[in-house]
Amino acid sequence: MYGLPRRSRALVMGLILFFIGATMYLKSENLAAAAPLQAYYPHSGIRLERSEVKFRADAIKEAYQHSWDGYMEFGFPKDELLPMSKRGGNSMSGWGASVIDGIGTAVLMELPEVVEEQLKFIAEIDYTKCEHQISLFETTIRYLGGMISAYDLLTGPYSDLMEAGKDQKNHHLVHTLLRQSVALADALKFSFNTTSGIPMPFFMLDSKRIKSDDINNIAGIGTLVLEWTRLSDLTGDPQYTTLAQRAQEYLLKVENPEIGEPFPGLLGTNVGLRDGKFLDSYGGWGAMGDSYYEYLIKMYVYDPRRFRRYMQRWVQAADSTMTYLTSVPATTPPSNFVFVGEYSHGRSIALRGSHLACFIGGNFLLGGQMLDNMKYNIYGLQLVDGCRATYANSRSGIGPERFGWDPNLVPSNQKEFFEKNGWYYGGEIDYRLRPEVIESYYHAWVVTKDDKYRQWAWEAFLAINRTCRTEHGFTSVSDTSREDGGRKDDKQESFWFAEVLKYLFLIFNEEGIQFKEKIGFVPGERQKWVFNTEAHPIRIY
Ligand SMILES: *[C@@H]1O[C@H](CO)[C@@H](O)[C@H](O)[C@H]1NC(C)=O
Ligand SMILES: *[C@@H]1O[C@H](CO)[C@@H](O)[C@H](O)[C@H]1NC(C)=O
C-alpha cells in the first residue's frame, strides 16, 4: 500500500461507514417507528443489580454533600467555590449562583436541611442590586431557571419535602421562589428595549443604558424563551414570554438568509441588535449556537400547541446537520460513531468538536422520541458513541474541552493516537466540570434502558472523583490527556451542582422523579417535564 497514506485509507473507510450509515437512515425513514430501536441498535446485555444502582446513587449524593459543604465553608455567599485557594468567586453576578443552581438537585436528592438553607437564602436576595456585569443568558438559565424549577418541583411532586413536620414558614419560603423569579425578570427586562427587540447580552443593572449598536449571538437570543415563557404561564402575565418570543422571531425567520442561514435551519452566529440581521455565516452545535437548537425542540415538548413552528425549525436544523455536518472518523478497529463538524464561511466544514456540543446526542434522542422518528434516535445514539470515545480513549477517563478529527491537521505527536481512536486533542484539553457527555448518556439510557449508558456514566463519575476531587469540593483540571488530570484549576462551577450531579443522580435513581412523575421520557407517554439547558426540570404546560 506504499503511496496510499494511512489517512487516505482512513478516509475511504470513513466514506464506506458513512454510506452504511446513510442507507440505514434512509431505510429507517421509511420504517419510522415500525421497528423498535433495538432492531437498529441492539441492547448490550449489560444489566446492573438494584443494590449496585442504589450504591451509586448514594455515592453521587455524597459528592453533592461534599461539594456543598466546601462551598458553604469557603465560598458562600459568593457565586462559586474556588476549592484550591479556599475562597469564593463571583463569576455569575454575585447573587450566590451555586445556591440557586444547586437547589433543584438537592430537592431531587431529598436533602431537606440543605434545601431549607437554600430557600432561606434565596428569599433574601435583592435582585435590584448588582455591582457586576450581568449576562442575560447565564442569569436566565442559572438563576431564573433554577428558581422556577425549584418552584415547580416543590409545589409538585416534592411538595412534601419541606412540609413534613414543619410549620407554615417553609410553605411560605417555597412561594418566595416565584416572587423572586418575577423580581429578577423585572430587573432584567429593560435589556430587551433595543431597536430590534433583541436583548443586549451584557449590561450593568444600575446604569440601565441601552446599547443598540451591540451584537448578540443565537444562543444568547434563543435560550431565554423556555424560562421567560414558564414565568408568564405561572404568573398569568404575558409580558415575559412576549419579550422572549419577539427576539426569537429573528431566528425563526432570518431576515438575511444569504448570510444568516448557510444551510436550511442552521444559522450563523452573531446578530445585530439594531436590525436583527445576521453578521456572519459560521456556527454549529458548539458554544454560542448550541442551546438555540436545543430549545427549539424543547419548546415543542413544553407546549406543542404554541410552539409547533419551533419544532419545524428544529427538524430543519436536525436534517441539515445529518446531511451536511456528519463526519465518520476511521478507527482501528472500525466503530460506527459519528461526529458533527462546525461550519465556517463558504459552507466549508471544520472537523472539530467540543465538550459543549456533546449534548447533541441527547437532544437528537429527545427529538426522536418526541416526534416518534427512528432516524433521530439512531443518529443520536451514534453521536453519543462519538462523545463517549473522547472519554474512553482519554488517559484521565474524561474528554477534553476541544477535539478534532481532521486527518490533515493531526498534531505530529498524536498521529498514532488519532489512527487508533479517530480523534485527537485539539487546543483546549482541560475539563471544567461540564455535563454534556453525561447528559447525553442520561437521555440514551432513558430511551434505550440499556445499562451500558449507566456504566459509562459511572466510569465518568469515578474518573472525575479521582481527578477533580479536592479536600473541600471539586475543581476543574488542566489536562485530560494525563492520568491525573494535570493541574487543579481552582473552580467549582455552579453547573457542577445543577447539571453533572443531577444527571448522574437521575441515571442511578429508579425510585426518583422519572418514575414518580416521569421526568425522563417514557416511550408512549407524554412527557411531564423538560430540562432547561442548565438541567433544571421545568414542568410542561
Ligand atoms: C425603552 O426605551 C425608550 C427610549 O428608547 C424609553 O422611552 C422607554 O422608557 C424604555 N422602556 C423601558 C421599559 O425601559
Ligand atoms: C470518591 O473519592 C473519595 C476520596 O478519594 C473516596 O473516599 C470515595 O470512595 C470515592 N467514591 C467512589 C464511589 O469511588
475 is in an annotated binding site: no
Compute the mean pLDDT over every residue in the chain, rounded to the nearest whole number: 90
For ligand 1, whether the C-beta of 40 sits within 6 Å is no
pLDDT of residue 517: 53
290, 419, 450, 451: which one is catalytic? 290
Percent over 90 (pLDDT), the chain: 80
For ligand 1, whether the C-beta of 18 sits within 6 Å is no
Strand partners, 343: 283, 349
State how far the Cα of 120 lies from the Cα of 178, in Å rounded to an integer: 14
Q: Is the pLDDT confidence value at 3 over 60?
A: no
Q: Enter the C-alpha cell of residue 306.
A: 404554541
State how far the Cα of 345 lies from the Cα of 282, in Å rounded to an integer: 6
For ligand 1, whether the C-beta of 193 sits within 6 Å is yes
Decide if 1 is inside a domain. no
71-120 pLDDT, tens per residue? Answer: 999 999 999 999 999 999 999 999 999 999 999 999 999 999 999 999 99
State how far the Cα of 441 lies from the Cα of 385, in Å rounded to an integer: 9
448-475 pLDDT, tens per residue? Answer: 989 999 999 999 999 999 999 999 999 9
User: Whole-model pTM?
Assistant: 0.92
Decide if 73 is inside a domain. yes
517-535 pLDDT, tens per residue? Answer: 545 555 556 678 999 999 9
Place of cell 472500525: 334
State how far the Cα of 148 lies from the Cα of 175, in Å rounded to an integer: 10
CA 39, 40, 44, 50 torsion-angle sign: negative
How many domains does the chain contain in total?
1
Select from 188, 193, 273 the residue to mutate for testing ligand 1; criterion: most ligand atoms less than 8 Å from CB: 193
Element (H, E) at 80: strand 80-82
Q: Is the pLDDT confidence value at 267 over 80?
A: yes
pLDDT of residue 66: 98
pLDDT of residue 7: 41
Known active-site residue 138: yes
For ligand 1, whether the C-beta of 190 sits within 6 Å is yes
Known active-site residue 131: no
134-143 pLDDT, tens per residue? Answer: 999 999 999 9
Could you please report the per-residue DSSP string of 318-383?
HHHIIIIIEE----SS-----EE-EE-GGGPEE-EEESGGGGHHHHHHHHHHHHT-HHHHHHHHHH
Q: Burial letters for 508-537: b for 16+ Cβ neighbours within 10 Å, e otherwise?
A: bbeebbbeeebbbbeeeeebbbbbbbbbbb
Decide if 103 is inside a domain. yes
The answer to whether 245 touches 307, Cβ cutoff 8 Å, is no
Query: What's the whole-number mean pLDDT along residues 34-62?
Result: 90
Decide if 460 is inside a domain. yes
Q: Is the pLDDT confidence value at 33 over 50?
A: no
Select from 465, 501, 505 the residue to mutate for testing ligand 2; criterion: most ligand atoms less than 8 Å from CB: 465
By CB atoms closer than 10 A (0-12, 13-18, 19+), residue 90 is: middle
The answer to whether 421 touches 393, Cβ cutoff 8 Å, is yes
Where does 410-493 have alpha helices with state H? 415-421, 436-448, 452-467
337-353 pLDDT, tens per residue? Answer: 999 999 997 679 999 99
Decide if 240 is inside a domain. yes
* CATH number, domain with residue 505: 1.50.10.10
Domain limits for position 469: 6-539
353-383 pLDDT, tens per residue? Answer: 999 999 999 999 999 999 999 999 999 999 9
Decide if 496 is inside a domain. yes
Query: What's the whole-number mean pLDDT along residues 222-227?
Result: 98
Known active-site residue 167: no
pLDDT grade, residue 211 (50/70/90)?
Answer: confident
Decide if 380 is inside a domain. yes
pLDDT grade, residue 330 (50/70/90)?
Answer: confident
Give distance in angstroms: CA of 193 to centre of ligand 1. Answer: 6
pLDDT grade, residue 121 (50/70/90)?
Answer: very high
The answer to whether 241 touches 235, Cβ cutoff 8 Å, is no
Name the 3-class secondary structure at 488: strand
